[in-house]
Amino acid sequence: MNPALPGGAAGTEVQLDGDLWSTGGRLGYAFVPYGRLQQGTSPAPNPNQLAIDVHLASAQVHITAPTGTSLDLQLPFGSLITRSVAENRTDTGIGDLELRIRQSLRDLIRRPALVLSAGLVLPTGEYVARSGAANLAPEASYLTLGRGVAWWIVEADARIELTRGVSVFGQLSGRGPVGRTEDDFAWGTELRSTAGVQVAVIGTSLSLVLSSDLQARGGASEPDPFSMERLESSNAGGLQWSLAPAAVFTPASNISLVVGVRIPLLSDVTGNQLVPETGGFIAVSYTQRLTQRRAKASAHVQPALGQLTVVDYWATWCAPCSRISRALEEAAPRWPDVRIIKVDATEWPSETSPALPAGASGLPAIEIFDRSGTRVRLLVGDEALRVVEEVDKLRKDPQ
């Protein structure tokens, strides 16, 4: 949606599930008051006591294919309540419809999870022409549901799980107008970057998110009424930096609720512009599988007779697993009689993950089989860090 209008917390949207057909949606609401007039980074006189309260909702639906490709539609709607010495007015309507095609790169890059998006904004919202300046204060030119022109969109999203329950995410996005409005007004290109962290507090049911958002809006131009030239708009463009702490509740695997606040940290605007104050947001997301995914087969280990066999169950989010993998790689050249099997359990405990060995309830987990194919060791947790020591002991046993 119009980046000048408030949104929810980034990084909390439904993640692409590219192994099956699925669909879902998101319904959100945000409130942000714009009651402070600013010039650059300094307060500006506001003799008309101009203020605008933005109540913005958005409806989003998507469908995802097994290829990791998703079609996404988002429609904002709401009301802008304008107050000043001269008037009190409420403008209600829909905003500009956004269409995106998203593509997961999971088949090329497993870590971090990357998604690229491209899209188009259609001018479905009502646009207030700049020629009707009496209807739209120049200090609030960006606070409009419709912007009167189509826009292109490009985005890149990344997420990486550092440890189980802790992940960081980021997004880079840009959008620009395709042509000019009906009154020959030309919006500037807009860029946005977001970075944040999500930490699980109560299993998968409750997590906390902290994200930081930086927006840069290019200057706009309009026709000079006294010549054939164009003029730079005096109240357009600038930087907005905000912080958004939020809580994410996940009562079921396919339902999530996010509640948070958006706190402005810095506004640096061109000319005189209304800038945002602290506001809040809430959103609920839902996904539904359209086809059933075939669960991955349980890890079927075939020990090598006449050799020792080490089975390493690992995951990208498991920090001790990385230490174990390095230790096994270093020891492998001096173990000609040891076979090492690695089992990727990154998706554990989901139904699509290979089953852990009998007796193991978490990662890391190591199985060691003797030369006859009998399991003689199960190392879990901190014990798994001693795998090299245990294998060295067994290699000394001629049996």
The per-residue DSSP string of 116-155 comes to EEEEEEE--S----GGGGGGS-GGGTT--S--SSEEEEEE
- Using CB atoms within 10 A of its CB, is residue 239 exposed (0-12), middle (13-18) or buried (19+)? middle
| Distance between CA atoms of residues 45 and 47, nearest Å | 6
R_g of the chain, CA atoms, integer Å: 28
Percent of the chain with pLDDT over 70: 88
**CA of residue 76 relative to chain centroid, distance:** 19
Q: How confident is the model at residue 174 (pLDDT cuts 50, 70, 90)?
A: very high
- Is there a common fold for 22-289 and 308-395? no
> How do residues 116-166 score in pLDDT, each as one tens digit?
999 999 999 888 765 444 455 655 566 778 888 999 999 999 998 887 778
| CA 181, 186, 191, 192 torsion-angle sign | negative
> How do residues 325-359 score in pLDDT, each as one tens digit?
999 999 999 999 999 999 988 877 776 678 888 88
pLDDT exceeds cutoff 90 at 61: yes
> How do residues 250-289 score in pLDDT, each as one tens digit?
888 788 999 999 999 999 999 888 899 999 999 999 988 7
Identify the residue with better confidence: 236 or 175. 175
Look at the pTM and tell me if it is higher than 0.95: no
Residue 299: the pLDDT is 54
Q: 86-90, 222-226, 347-351: which has the minimum mean pLDDT?
A: 347-351
| Distance between CA atoms of residues 211 and 158, nearest Å | 13
Residue 319: the pLDDT is 85
Inter-residue contact 352 to 296 (CB < 8 Å): yes
| Distance between CA atoms of residues 209 and 33, nearest Å | 23
Q: Please state, in angstroms and as integers, the Cα–Cα distance from residue 106 to each residue in 15, 68, 316, 351, 376, following that order.
A: 12, 8, 14, 19, 37
pLDDT exceeds cutoff 50 at 296: no
Residues 204-209 have a mean pLDDT of 89
- Average pLDDT along the chain: 85
Decide the pairing of beta strands 308-314 and 338-344: parallel
Domain ranges of the chain: 22-289, 308-395
Identify the residue with better confidence: 193 or 48. 193
pLDDT exceeds cutoff 60 at 196: yes
Residue 145: the pLDDT is 82
Structural class in CATH, domain 308-395? alpha beta
pLDDT exceeds cutoff 50 at 220: yes
Nearest-5° Cα angle at 37, 193 to 261? 45
Task: Give the SS3 label for residue 20.
Answer: coil
CATH for 22-289? 2.40.160.40
> How do residues 4-34 score in pLDDT, each as one tens digit?
455 544 555 545 445 578 899 999 999 999 9
> How do residues 43-59 score in pLDDT, each as one tens digit?
999 888 889 999 999 99
Q: What is the 3-state secondary structure (H, E, C) of the chain?
A: CCCCCCCCCCCCCCCCCCCCCEEEEEEEEEEEEECEEEEECEECCCCCCCEEEEEEEEEEEEEECCCCEEEEEEEEEEEEEEECCCCEEEEEEECCEEEEEEEECCCCCCCCEEEEEEEEEECCCCCCCHHHHHHCCHHHCCCCCCCCCEEEEEEEEEEEEEECCEEEEEEEEEEEEECCCCCCCECCCEEEEEEEEEEEEECCCEEEEEEEEEEEECCCEEECCCCCCEEECCCCCEEEEEEEEEEEEEEECCEEEEEEEEEEEEEEEEEEEEECCCEEEEEEEEEEECCCCCCCCCCCCCCCCCCEEEEEEECCCCHHHHHHHHHHHHHHHHCCCEEEEEEECCCCCCCCCCCCCCCCCCCCEEEEECCCCCEEEEEEHHHHHHHHHHHHHHHCCCC
